[in-house]
Structure 1
C-alpha cells in the first residue's frame, strides 16, 4: 500500500479521494486550512492531519517542513484550490502554493495536480505576471497545467500528471453540477493506487487520457513561469534533484 498526502482534503473532492484511498488500505495524510477544520476531520478519521493556510506563503513553507518530517510519500495530490475569491488569493493558493510545496517537499514517486476544463479560457501577460500577481480561476488552472508539464520535463524519474475532475457537486463549483464526488475523485484514486504507471506529462479526465489546450505546451513560457515563481517565492526549483 502507498503513503499519500492530499492538500485541501478537509472537504469536497479532496476529502472524497482521501476516504476512498483509506478504504483501499492506503496510508493517507490529510491537510486542513486551520485548527477548526482539523478538529472536524479528527472527529471522523484516525489519521495524521497537517495544518497550513495556503494563502500564506510562510505557512505553506512551514507545511512543507512538516510534510518532510514524515516518511517520504509515494504520492502527493495537489488538490487544494479556490474559486470564489479575489484574484490575488486565487493566484497564491492555486499556483504559488503548489509551486512551493513541489519544490520543498522531498520528491515522491508520483505528483498529481488538479486541473480544470476551464483552463482553455485562461490567459495571461507573461511580462506582467510577476508584478500583478492576480489571475482568474481559468488562468490559474492553465498555469498549474503548465507547471505540471514543466515538472514532468524536469523530473523524468517520477510520474507527474494532471487530472481534470470534471464539473463536480461541491460548494466551490455548484451542487447542481452533473458529476458526483465519486466521479471527480476516481482518476486521482486510480493514479495514486498504482506505483508503476510508466507515463508522465499526461492530462486525464474520468479515467481516460484526454486532450488539453495546446497553449500549455509552450516550453519557453513554462520555463519563464518557473523563473517568475522562483522570484516571487525566493525558492529555486531543483531541476536536477
Structure 2
C-alpha cells in the first residue's frame, strides 16, 4: 500500500486516477481547488485526506505544499492539475508542479502530466516571466522539469506522461483517445516496480515515446530551473 498525492483530482483524469488508486487499496490524498469542488459526499471516505488550494496563486501553492507535508513523505506524487485555455496556464501547468516539487519532501516517485502538444512548445523562457506562454509551452516546460528531476534526484524516479486526447471536460466530448487508458499509465508508474526505464521516461499508454529534444537538453533544463527559481523565489535543491 502506497501513500499517493494526486493534484487536480476533483474531476476528469485526476479523479479517475485517484479512484483507480483507491480501488487498488492505496492511501490517496487528493488536491482540489476549493471546498466546493468536493461535490460527492460519498467520496470522502475513500481518501486518506484532502488538500485545498488554488494552484493559480503562488501563496496557495505554498499552502498546498504545507497541507500535503502533514501526511509525511509520499511514496508518489502525481502532478495532474492542468488548464488549457486560461490566463492561469503558466501557474497551474508549470509553476505549481515546480513549487510543490521543490517544497515537499522528495517522494519515491514523481509523475508529471504532459501532452503531445508539448512538441510545438517554445524554448523561449521569456514567455514564462512575461506571462505570455501557451498551453504547449507549459507542457514542454513541465516535461523538461520531469526529466531534469530524474537526472538530479537520486532515489526518486520521475516521469512525464502524455495521457492522450481523452473525452474529459478539458478534452471535449469528441476527443478520440480512450478515457480509461488516459489514467492507467499514471497509476502504473506510481505503483509498479517493473518500469523500464526506471526514471526519466516520457510515456504514452505505457509505452516510451521520444519527447521534444529540448526536454532532454541539460542546458535547457538548467535554464528552465533557474528561471523558475527566480520567478518564484523557491530553489529546487
TM-score band, normalised by the shorter chain?
over 0.9
Shift of 1:149: 1.0
> Are positions 1:194 and 2:192 aligned together?
yes
For residues 136-179 of structure 1, give each alpha carbon's deviation from its aligned partner in whole angstroms, at most 9, with x where no partner exists.
11111000001111111110211100110001001111111112
2:209 is aligned to 210
Structure 1: where are the runs of 5+ without partners? Answer: none
Q: Take 1:188 and 1:113, find their aligned partners in 2: how far apart are those partners?
A: 9
The CA distance in 1 between the partners of 2:201 and 2:63, in whole Å, is: 30
**CA RMSD, Structure 1 to Structure 2 (Å):** 1.4
Matches within 5 A, 1:70-149: 70-86=71-87, 89-126=88-125, 128-129=126-127, 131-149=129-147
Q: How far 1:234 sits from its partner (Å)?
A: 0.7
Q: Distance in 1 between matches of 2:36 and 2:160?
A: 30
> SS of the counterpart of 1:76?
strand
Count of residues in correspondence between the two structures: 234
**Matches of 1:19 and 1:227, distance apart in 2:** 36
Cα distance in structure 2, aligned partners of 1:230 and 1:37:
30
**Distance in structure 2 (CA, Å) of the matches to 1:156 and 1:23:** 30
**Any unmatched runs of 5+ in structure 2?**
none
The alignment partner of 2:51 has SS state of strand
Q: Give the SS at the match of 1:181.
A: coil
1:1-241 matches, cutoff 5 A: 1-38=1-38, 40-46=39-45, 47=47, 48-86=49-87, 89-126=88-125, 128-129=126-127, 131-195=129-193, 197=195, 199-238=198-237
- In structure 2, relative to structure 1, the CA distance for the partners of 1:231 and 1:41 (3 Å cut) is farther
Check whether the contact 2:214–2:220 (CA below 8 A) recurs between aligned residues.
no
String of CA shifts for 1:119-144, please: whole Å, max 9, x gaps. Answer: 11111423x24541321111110000
Q: For the residues of structure 1 that align with 2:210 and 2:107, how far apart are their CA atoms?
A: 26
Q: CA deviation at 1:41?
A: 4.3
CA contact (8 A) 1:16 1:181 kept: no
Deviations 1:183-233 (A, max 9, x none): 100101111121564611111100111111212222111101101111111
Deviates more, 1:69-78 or 1:175-184: 175-184
- Offset, 1:36: 0.3
Asked if the contact 1:114/1:163 (under 8 Å) is kept, the reply is yes
C-alpha displacement of 1:180: 2.9
